Amino acid sequence: MSEKPVPAPAQGLAPAEGLAPVESASAETLAPTPSHTVGPFYGYALPFPGGGEMAPAGHPGAITLHGHVRDGAGAPVPDALVELWQAGPDGSLAGAGGSMRRDPVTGGFLGRNGVDFTGFGRIATDADGHWTARTLPPGGPAAPAAPYISVCVHARGLLHHLFTRVYFPENAEANAADPLLASLDPARRETLVATAASPPGTYRFDIRLQGEGETVFLEFR
């Protein structure tokens, strides 16, 4: 399976054409048909309370990763879902089961067990298009690849979810040798590298779906 950067698809769909009027009615009396819409319909199964709390509470090595999802006009996307998939600090992808546990008796939501790091998070953006995750730094894959977090974005107007990555600025040497980053021109490469923020251990990673500063998205084959 190979990966290459691809442009983000255009958001939204063209309105559906109106139905042909029946012979007994005039065009003036017919109401226009509604546009077809494409979600998001996240009310069932997808919401994950506490989905951004990937690191066990109180873990000394936890980092905070946050940012905004913005559309082609730079406006915040308040109804997106950001999924994170990553290796543990030791580089292992084995993870642990139980990101989203259910009560076996009632079927209710139990949440994480507070101990295991599963390497998975799912966060809904707020009214400002903002998302936040508390996680652990990803360990490095085999050289020459640099450590990264895989990101999957679901949002209104997207027929297919988008894939990208988050790299970290302190891994400058490894980032310079990473095959994917090395294949991009500097301006595009910057869209995949988080920015160190305050307090220490905080990183910002904004996702731009289209337009100026569009995030590099990946195609898997």
| pLDDT (tens digit per residue) in 161-176 | 999 999 999 999 999 9
What is the chain's alpha carbon radius of gyration, rounded to the nearest angstrom? 21
- Three-class SS of residue 217? strand
- Provide the pLDDT for residue 95: 76
- Provide the pLDDT for residue 26: 53
> pTM of the entire structure?
0.80
- The 3-class SS string of 116-170 reads CCCCEEEEECCCCCEEEEEECCCCCCCCCCCCEEEEEEECCCCCCCEEEEEECHH
- Provide the pLDDT for residue 46: 79
User: What value does the mean pLDDT of the chain take?
Assistant: 85
Q: What is the DSSP letter of 43?
A: S
101 CB-near residues (< 8 Å, 6+ apart): 109, 110, 111, 112, 113
- Three-class SS of residue 192? helix
